[in-house]
Structure 1
Amino acid sequence: MLVAHLADLHLGYAQFNLEEREEDVYETFNEAIDISIKEGAGLVILAGDLFHTPRPNGKAVITLANALKKLKEKQIPVVFVLGEHDISRLRDVPFAFVFSNLGLMKRLKAEEPFVVGDVAVFGADKERRGNIDALIEKLHNAEQAAKGFKKRILVMHQGLTDLNKFAGEINADDLPSGFNYYALGHYHDHQEKRFANLGGPLVYPGSLDLTPSEGIKEVEKGFALVDMSGEEAKTHWIPLHRRAQFSVRLDYGTLADGVEKVMQKAAGFAKKPVVRVEVAGRGIDSRAIAANLVRLNEACLHYVWQPLDEQSDVRVYDERPQDMDQELLRLSADALKSEELAAFAVRDLLPAASEGDASKALEIAWEAFKKRSVRP
């Protein structure tokens, strides 16, 4: 059986708050679904962060609903686990459960298999660092429940310290050994790894498009097609068609010529690209840079720029950071001395406060306080 493994969809995310970039995310997701159907996938796995926020907008909801309806018509089951972006700090039902209740996709459990053909699939939702012991216990239960099946898949949305010691919450040694394929989400770069203690490949397919933490860069994005028909799981990573993004460094002394070259490169893409421009030189006048770069509006969907004054050896940034979400997270983490608190403040508390809903913001803060106060 062929299994499509997608992760970190972030439906609803709009880079630079551009409607075109939000539509780009939907297009890559729909392309992944269409390829999965065309290739004859017998199962689709969504390994967390289906939406960019716990309360997704209408376009994001409809996009997922239409894809799930298309898969159901083809009799292709869909299973999922929750990522941190799908889980609200409030005592609220995750939005993805709506589709589960309607029978359009199935939420995976650690102790109860979802069986398709000769493959049993188990899963666990995202757990924060403070609840890892409970997660490891769930994984132990999954290993016990999986013993009666010949082919087994484990789905999670967690970071492995073996691959990123700063962003990981668990180690490969914490994972149960008795699975043929480990379908993970959370890391946005495509990574495949085999560990001696695991029964099959561990795969992060990566996000389907660039997300706030990644900025502007040239990189391929895609998903995994996994052949489970043989003795071992065989993975094939499928790149998707996306709007191009790239970075260039221009010389301040020949800025006009540099801009012309950027425009020529941009003209070679089917869609107007997103571009990051660094301008290096001495005695830089930001007004002169802005006057030259304005020409990029003809060829680029969006661009950001950064002067690098070699004389002062100081980097002076444009008025607007290249990614507001990531800049807010960085500044909050610096102020609060905690990435976890920063993520809570920006992703959970700030949206409620910006809507002017004081009672909702207070409830979110109170629930978070109670959870932290009962930690051992």
Structure 2
Amino acid sequence: MKIIHFSDTHLGFNDLDILNKDNINQREADFYDAFSQVVKQIKIIKPDFIIHTGDLFHRSSPSNRAITFALEQFKIIDELNIPFILIAGNHSTPRTNLSSPILKIFENFKNIHVCYDQEYKTVEFESVIFHALPHMNDETKALSQIELCEARIDKSKKNIMMMHCSVGAAYLMAEFGEWVYPSEKEYIFKMMDYVALGHWHGFGAVGKHENVYYSGSTERTSMNDKRNSKGFVVVSLYDELIVEYKEIKIRPIILKEIDCEDYENSVLNIETSDVKDAIVEVKLTNLSALQSIDIQNSEIRNLFSEAMSVSVKREFKHTQNKTNIDDIEALSLENYFLEHIKEDSRPQEFDRLKYKIQELFAQYEEANNDTL
């Protein structure tokens, strides 16, 4: 038996405010591309089953474009006549009963089985039973659902457990409403042939459990996620369990560092040929206060003009001698503020903001003079 396990596709996610040639947010398009790559691999590998362990969409009320894309892709999958079992994650589960679960839209597909009602559900076939535990807002209810799962284990078949949760504190995502699987119930994992997890965005086995795996996400929902490897899992269940990670192609994050103690040489020697279409994060280190004003973000971005996106982080010197302190005191707060506003504003906007800022600083100085 061969199973493709993927998760956390977060369709509809977007950030960075960059549009592609089709006038779609480029990062949103990246998530669609990642999903399409998995579907192409499904067509090549031709597994016996496909499972998705939550967060198909990034929001419980996704955009029309995200819904349309998902329906198109599910139609392709459905026509392969491969059973596809899908559970809800915390991002696609409404927080109240006033909203209808979005995964209901897939119920009319012949080969697609969805589980979204915050209740344990089994999807059974001749040789395998899928124990589906979707995201649950109520952890007290979750415990009773886990116990139902334990009672339904069928030793005459393969047993696959599917969940969207954190198994241990190491896999917390610091998100609202995330569900933490109770540690006292981890003994159930040994009764399963495979435990497929969603929620954590990195691939890997969980702790001491040899059959418990996160497939990871197919793209990044945060620039704090520096993983340049995303993909899905091919699970082979024959005489033994074999879990094989398959990587897909995603937009890379490339980290660069410029040492401002020797700024000119650092800029001259920095590698820029490897950044085409990448997300680039530049860290300026050993900055002095005066340098921070002199070095504009636009100047750094121009160094990596072929990148899709460039962000700049500033790291000041850890120690300040008296010269540094004098430099800071000598700075005009008004000019410092204007420089930063100018960098991120259009010319017309800056002219308007400049006069307003100057007016506010003048009022501030006048008010302070009156109190002396």
Shorter-chain TM-score bucket reads: 0.7 to 0.9
> Offset at 1:121?
0.6
List aligned pairs for 1:47-126, cutoff 5 A.
Answer: 47-90=53-96, 91-103=98-110, 105-108=112-115, 112-126=121-135
Whole-angstrom distance in 1 between the partners of 2:130 and 2:100: 23
Whole-angstrom distance in 2 between the partners of 1:28 and 1:41: 19
Which of 297, 301, 308 is 2:308 aligned to? 301
Determine if contact 1:3/1:43 at 8 Å carries over to the other structure.
Answer: yes
Q: Which residue of 1 aligns with 2:143?
A: 136
2:258 matches 1:250:
yes
Determine if contact 1:121/1:153 at 8 Å carries over to the other structure.
Answer: yes
Q: Which residue of 2 aligns with 1:210?
A: 220
Which of 183, 200, 208 is 1:187 aligned to? 200
> Offset at 1:4?
0.8
Q: CA deviation digits over 1:271-294, x for unaligned, max 9?
A: x10011111124223342425213
- How many residue pairs get aligned? The number is 307
Q: CA deviation digits over 1:72-127, x for unaligned, max 9?
A: 11101211111110012232111111112444621248655313451111111112
Determine if contact 1:6/1:45 at 8 Å carries over to the other structure.
Answer: yes
User: What TM-score does the superposition give when structure 2 sets the normalisation length?
Assistant: 0.75
Q: Which residue of 1 aligns with 2:363?
A: none
Q: CA deviation digits over 1:186-219, x for unaligned, max 9?
A: 11111213646xxx6101011111113x526243
3-state SS in 2 of match to 1:5 = strand
Q: Which residue of 2 aligns with 1:5?
A: 5
Amino acid at match of 1:88: P
Structure 1 unmatched runs, 5+:
321-376
Determine if contact 1:278/1:305 at 8 Å carries over to the other structure.
Answer: yes
Whole-angstrom distance in 1 between the partners of 2:36 and 2:234: 15
Amino acid at match of 1:276: E
Determine if contact 1:113/1:146 at 8 Å carries over to the other structure.
Answer: no
Determine if contact 1:88/1:94 at 8 Å carries over to the other structure.
Answer: yes
Q: Which residue of 1 aligns with 2:43?
A: 37
Whole-angstrom distance in 2 between the partners of 1:307 and 1:162: 31
RMSD of Structure 2 on Structure 1 (CA)? 2.8
Q: Which residue of 1 aligns with 2:328?
A: none
3-state SS in 1 of match to 2:159 = strand
Whole-angstrom distance in 2 between the partners of 1:30 and 1:56: 18
Whole-angstrom distance in 1 between the partners of 2:263 and 2:274: 15
Amino acid at match of 1:94: P
Q: Which residue of 2 aligns with 1:348?
A: none
Which of 201, 206, 226 is 2:211 aligned to? 201
Structure 2 unmatched runs, 5+:
19-24, 325-335, 342-372
Determine if contact 1:127/1:158 at 8 Å carries over to the other structure.
Answer: no
Higher CA-based Rg:
2
Q: Which residue of 1 aligns with 2:331?
A: none
Q: Which residue of 1 aligns with 2:17?
A: 17
Determine if contact 1:113/1:122 at 8 Å carries over to the other structure.
Answer: yes
Q: CA deviation digits over 1:281-319, x for unaligned, max 9?
A: 2422334242521314521111110121216679x9x97
> Offset at 1:136?
2.2
Distance 1:299 1:254, change over 3 A: farther
2:283 matches 1:275:
no
Q: CA deviation digits over 1:10-34, x for unaligned, max 9?
A: 0011132331111111111111111
Q: Which residue of 2 aligns with 1:174?
A: 185
Q: CA deviation digits over 1:155-176, x for unaligned, max 9?
A: 0001011644786712443142
> Which is further off, 57-66 or 157-166?
157-166
Amino acid at match of 1:231: D
Q: CA deviation digits over 1:250-286, x for unaligned, max 9?
A: 112444554563422214xxxx100111111242233
3-state SS in 2 of match to 1:21 = helix
Distance 1:216 1:132, change over 3 A: closer
> Offset at 1:8?
0.7
User: What TM-score does the superposition give when structure 1 sets the normalisation length?
Assistant: 0.74
> Offset at 1:44?
1.2
Which of 245, 248, 252 is 1:237 aligned to? 245
Amino acid at match of 1:280: T
List aligned pairs for 1:274-353, cutoff 5 A.
Answer: 274-283=279-288, 284-296=291-303, 298-310=305-317
Distance 1:140 1:164, change over 3 A: same
Distance 1:319 1:122, change over 3 A: farther
3-state SS in 2 of match to 1:266 = coil
- Identity among equivalent pairs (%): 19
Determine if contact 2:173/2:200 at 8 Å carries over to the other structure.
Answer: no
Q: CA deviation digits over 1:126-149, x for unaligned, max 9?
A: 124xx3232122122122222254
> Offset at 1:242?
0.6
Whole-angstrom distance in 2 between the partners of 1:160 and 1:208: 20
Determine if contact 2:301/2:310 at 8 Å carries over to the other structure.
Answer: no
Q: CA deviation digits over 1:204-253, x for unaligned, max 9?
A: 011111113x526243111111012x133211111110111122221124
